[in-house]
Structure 1
Amino acid sequence: MALQEYAGAIVLEVDGKEVEVIDLNVNTQTGRKLVKTMNKSGRAKGFSKGIAEYDLDVTVAIPLTGDLDWAAIEGAKLTIYPISPGGKRESYLDCFTTQVGEKYSVDNEARRDLKIQSLRNVKE
């Protein structure tokens, strides 16, 4: 049996600038909705298509200088690509920030928690 390689660490770019990411969670809501109908079987028979939503929860390290103005991000492009060669890039387009928070602890570096929404997702 051949040894298989899996995706590892990623690099996040915001409009071409590399960002030091600690944690990234991407949630896709497909927009599909269950359609309930009145029928003798007493169960739903299908779904309707809707509009997909892309929610990104990003945790970044807070640098002493050169930090982005995260609260002002509108229309940004976030690109995720694997460090290992041969991996495919994934971009989230038309991104905007909905929440910005800061976290400080004794054991870790200062962190910024961001909630970002995207209008489109493209696999390159």
Structure 2
Amino acid sequence: MSDKYVGAIVMDLNGTDIEVASVDHQFTTGRVVVKTMNRTGQAAGTAKGIADHTLRVSVPIPKTSEPNWSAVLDAKITMEPGDGGGQRETWTGVFLISIGSKYQVEGEAMRDLEMGALNYYAE
């Protein structure tokens, strides 16, 4: 088992740092199958598409001054390595797609945010 873990996950929203509990990243290449009429009855190949980054982000609900999530348009999310080594991952141009809430008997109440990102950097 490795002893290197990801440290803090922080969302920068208009200069305000928001602590993030979890991030799930999904990358879609956008490639599609090209179906053409031919003698073999099989697809001719693939076409290049537009890449897409989708994030599922969970943040604790603060007691006061919760951000206006529906107005999020150009946020930045950064995952920092815990021990100073490893890669830092950053998503920029982050925008909100949908929002939900999760309440538990034990633990914090969370906002579940589905977000899109325009850029991804691994440094």
**Please, what TM-score do these two structures have when normalized by structure 2?**
0.81
Q: Single out whichever of 95-104 and 24-33 deviates more from structure 2.
A: 95-104
Match of 1:105 in 2: 104
Match of 1:80 in 2: 79
Tell me the C-alpha RMSD between the 2 structures.
Answer: 2.2
State the Cα deviation string for residues 12-48 of structure 1 (Å, max 9, x = none): 2222654333322111111111111222232223111
Identity %: 39
Give 5+ residue unaligned stretches, structure 2. none
State the Cα deviation string for residues 45-71 of structure 1 (Å, max 9, x = none): 311111111110011112224543322
The yes-or-no answer on 1:39 pairing with 2:38 is yes
Q: Which amino acid letter does the alignment assign opposite residue 11 of structure 1?
A: A
How far apart, in 2, do the equivalents of 1:6 and 1:55 lie? Answer: 28
Residue among 5, 12, 16 paired with 1:8: 5
SS of alignment partner, residue 117 of structure 1 = strand
State the Cα deviation string for residues 72-113 of structure 1 (Å, max 9, x = none): 211111112221321111211111112222221212211111
Give 5+ residue unaligned stretches, structure 1. none
The aligned length equals 121
The yes-or-no answer on 1:21 pairing with 2:20 is yes
How far apart, in 2, do the equivalents of 1:30 and 1:6 lie? Answer: 32
How far apart, in 1, do the equivalents of 2:20 and 2:113 lie? Answer: 11
SS of alignment partner, residue 25 of structure 2 = strand
Q: Single out whichever of 99-108 and 53-62 deviates more from structure 2.
A: 99-108
Q: Is the 8 A contact 1:33 1:49 kept in 2?
A: yes
